[in-house]
Structure 1
Amino acid sequence: MRASYHTHSRYCDGKGNLEDYVQRALELKWKVLGFSAHAPLPFETEWTLKKEDLPLYLKEAFMLKEKYKNEIQLYVGLETDYIKDTDINIPEGLDYYLFSVHYVRTEKNDRLIPVDGPFDMVEKGIQECYDGDGKAYTVDYYSQYREMIRNKRPVLSGHLDLLKKNNKNNFIFNEQESWYKDEVEKTLKTVKEFGCILEINTGGLSRKYTDTAYPSPWIIEIMKEMEIPIVLNSDAHNPLWLDTAYGETEELLKKIGYKTQRALYDGIWQDVPIG
């Protein structure tokens, strides 16, 4: 069964109305779809919901849930950031929450580096806050990802290795180096310990940032060995991208050994066949 619980409309950094995503899901004959606008942050950004737009987003999302209840199951959520030492207020009582790390807080200068921001911004942050040491930056990212899992205990967690988006030509790290693999495995052990679902995210493929989904295939292999549950999400920022790269990613997951994924369906997270 195909679905996506990671979508972004005009309310944050995506294109199209919420209803456009519903219509596209119906075209694809999907049975379920989730809305996950970027939750507001305590500072201004260009890519999250504005605080004043949050009630409008929720009102429209729940209206559509009722309007289409006989055609498709719609679930209303938020993609919620974890930022070290930062309080982020999010509304309670939504259908689900997708937790992600988009900023690394640095000890030096106490700055926030946007993990998937423009390359020059990430490069500048690593130079100024880590003296050009990509390893130290990467270690901080995974450390803060583990903090998120331990402190928030999310049901669903997003794009584990998002920082590879800006890692062209191994600018930040080499995935084959032992220290990097150690950081990933430590993080996966924390995910397993707290029973979190990890998403397989095709957003980097649809926007041509990466050659593979998040996380990389070798990481998914370790996830399978650890029996970490997964959900395939598109991270669509355009209704037309709702199922981008699903076919090839499903084949990869099956080759690795996954036969099922988790889906929020009939009001509960449950195992469903992949595809």
Structure 2
Amino acid sequence: MRRLVLNAAVLFCSGLLFASSAHSADGRAVGVNPDALVRFSGGDRILAVGADISLGEQVVTGASGQVQIVFSDQTRLVVGPGSALTIESYLFNGATADKFAINALAGSFRFISGHSPKSAYSINTPTASIAVRGTKFDFNVTRPRTDLMLYEGGVRLCSISGQCQELNARCDLGTVDASVSALIKHPDPAHPQLSEAFRYARFQTPLLGEFRVSGAGKCTEPPQNQGTPETLVPPTGGGQIPNGGQTPTGGRSPTAGKN
């Protein structure tokens, strides 16, 4: 009888541990600049290096804040200054995630996918959805729009109205507002102005080595072999670049990025 009770207790505890593993975000802050916190259920806690970041928690940074996060599947995420992001869903299963969803509310971010299948990843912003194909990219979220620059792999970027663009080439830049999406290739005349908004393409010094992308800065420079400039690829229906192709006001590269 005692053995049955002990076995039942072991099974119960194992079940709790499995459930905790399956539903925990299992992310850890490996790099934190001051002025960063986690918000959950109305309470705040200051972030420090080594702090865990769990499902449902919102990471918030101030003007000088920055958080670099590694998840158990080796997905890497940077939350830049003046940004907010929520871990919506993370179902961990061994060394991979069956589901990994984040909601980027505002600010600047870098995303580098890990060992999980590409179908597991999804990123939402107030104006866009991002389907990850196993890749490296930066994206900026402002009130009117979402901009994304690809470094490696592929991304499907869609407006909330269903206008989508496929980014498959290095330095491809996608931009969407609530109704219109556009793809800007590297040689396009609109590319230099828009690429200036991506702080980590211009200044990677604040990032740990594993969060840096080799050659990212070249995406902010004119291509080496210019040739004939490619024209802007308009969305279905002949729309224009959201917001008239203007660089988001909140996305300019800060001088503080050189520190």
Coarse TM-score class (shorter-chain normalised): 0.3 to 0.5
**Greater Cα radius of gyration, structure 1 or 2:** 2
Q: Which has the higher contact order (CA 8 A, sep 6+)?
A: 1
More helix by share: 1
TM-score by length of 2: 0.33
TM-score by length of 1: 0.32
More strand by share: 2
